[in-house]
Structure 1
Amino acid sequence: MSFLEITTEEKQRVIGELSAVKADFASRGWFAGTGGNLSMRIGGFSPESFHFAVTASGKDKTKTTPEDFLFVDQSGKPCEATRLKPSAETTIHCEIYRLTGCGAIFHIHSVFNNLVSELFWERRAVPIDGVELIKALNVWEEDAHIDIPIVSNFADVPRIVPEVTQRLDPRIPGILLRKHGIYAWGEDAFAAKRHLEAFEYLFEYAYRWELLQAARR
């Protein structure tokens, strides 16, 4: 489906869903210093051709305006005439959509996701063992073990993309940038939000568990 075939009603629906998620996350303090970005796919999908709405760069995400989002194509270029610029990290969204075919991607910065990204940097993954909330990531094995990938963070965002391509784990709907934040995705906005909440819970658990273990030594 070309972007021109997407109806105004569908565009408004996607913007409405993203606006609700943005307001929810803002109320939790997840957009400090305008950081973070949200996106949601619209219309059809193939790895070579897709479109999505993404947060505009530099906006105060604690406020709602008519210019919070814009539509871009699979290369991250705007689909419509606009003075808005897509988030600087849109190329990462492009690659995750291409690799996974997901419907929504949410990225936030938090203290705990930054702490664990450094704490476990040498092993390049955050290990989680047997915690019940792993099931929120659609991993249903009893006493499951997962490793949430951590990748390098560079000021030149396109340099991050090849490492995302290499390290993305199809079993885990998220990837963590070192001392930066988590990207979580899902088949739709509801699933992406559930996954993000689960990751944040698991990151806090992992950090506090390490503290407890250290205190016992």
Structure 2
Amino acid sequence: MTPTITLEQKQRAYADLSEVKANLAARGWFPGTSGNLSQRVGDLADGRFAFAITASGKDKAASTPEDFLLVNEAGEPIEQTRLKPSAETKIHCEIYRLTGCGAVFHVHTVWNNVVSELYASRGSIPIEGVELIKAFNIWEEDAAIEVPILPNYADIPRIAELVAGAIVPRIPGIVLRKHGIYAWGANAFEARKHLEAFEFLFEYVYRMALLSK
């Protein structure tokens, strides 16, 4: 059974993603057509769902009528289209399945690449006592978190298989080593808030590492 998506749901998701895409593109967070954005669109009682995702190979600094397409929980298009979903759609599928979130945003930046390599042997990026940890709804004084790092295999399904073991319930993100971050939230607003917080924290961690040498 294919999820039933109304035109209104589809248009709302595309509009939300277009706004986020323009905002992040203006920051230079989609170099070389990299990165991908998705938003959950509909759910069925049997656990199946659908989401809108950026089409593969598009210049995300531009806005066109073919920026997004709808896929199901397996990452397969649910409408007739010549567009291809992002190569990393399987990772989005796993994050939605495991967290029940409403949006997933993935970007490649210098900061998330550098800190992923800096702490690769540890398997996570340590962040302690920084105020912006509260963006993740973590309110302890001097809170400490560890952002999981996964290996960056060329075979995307191989990465997707590792997502379940990497997700930490209170940390809305995972990082691929020397690749980029996946951040998620209940909706597009929250996912972008989390992404912005991660990027701030990654820059902080790197600069502090330099100062401690």
- Do both proteins adopt the same fold according to a TM-score greater than 0.5, normalized to the shorter chain? yes
Question: Following TM superposition, by how much is the alpha carbon of 1:138 offset from its aligned partner in structure 2, in angstroms?
Answer: 1.0
Letter in 2 for 1:112: W
Matched residue, 2:191: 192
Letter in 2 for 1:28: R
Matched residue, 2:84: 85
Whole-Å Cα distance in 2 between the matches of residues 46 and 213 of structure 1? Answer: 53
Whole-Å Cα distance in 2 between the matches of residues 3 and 15 of structure 1? Answer: 17
Asked if 1 retains the 8 angstrom alpha-carbon contact of 2:2 and 2:78, the reply is: no
Whole-Å Cα distance in 2 between the matches of residues 26 and 161 of structure 1? Answer: 26
Asked if 2 retains the 8 angstrom alpha-carbon contact of 1:153 and 1:179, the reply is: yes
RMSD between superposed Cα atoms in Å:
1.3
Letter in 2 for 1:3: P
2:10 aligned with 1:3: no
Q: SS of 1:121's equivalent?
A: coil
Whole-Å Cα distance in 1 between the matches of residues 193 and 45 of structure 2? Answer: 25
Higher mean C-alpha deviation, range 35-44 or range 160-169: 160-169
Asked if 1 retains the 8 angstrom alpha-carbon contact of 2:56 and 2:84, the reply is: yes
Asked if 2 retains the 8 angstrom alpha-carbon contact of 1:149 and 1:167, the reply is: yes
Per-residue CA deviation, residues 120-150 of structure 1 (Å, 9 max, x unaligned), is: 0010000001000000011111100000000
Aligned length: 213
Q: Which runs of 5+ in 2 are unaligned?
A: none
2:149 aligned with 1:147: no
Higher mean C-alpha deviation, range 30-39 or range 157-166: 157-166
- Give the 3 Å change call, closer, same or farther, for CA 131–92 of structure 1 in structure 2: same
- Give the 3 Å change call, closer, same or farther, for CA 76–205 of structure 1 in structure 2: same
Letter in 2 for 1:41: R
Matched residue, 1:20: 19
- Give the 3 Å change call, closer, same or farther, for CA 45–28 of structure 1 in structure 2: farther
Letter in 1 for 2:3: F
Whole-Å Cα distance in 2 between the matches of residues 48 and 9 of structure 1? Answer: 22
Q: SS of 2:211's equivalent?
A: helix
- Give the 3 Å change call, closer, same or farther, for CA 47–104 of structure 1 in structure 2: farther
Moved over 6 A (4+): none
Matches within 5 A, 1:62-211: 62-211=61-210
Question: Following TM superposition, by how much is the alpha carbon of 1:47 offset from its aligned partner in structure 2, in angstroms?
Answer: 8.1
Question: Following TM superposition, by how much is the alpha carbon of 1:165 offset from its aligned partner in structure 2, in angstroms?
Answer: 1.3
Q: SS of 2:121's equivalent?
A: helix
Identical-pair percentage: 64
Whole-Å Cα distance in 1 between the matches of residues 153 and 77 of structure 2? Answer: 24
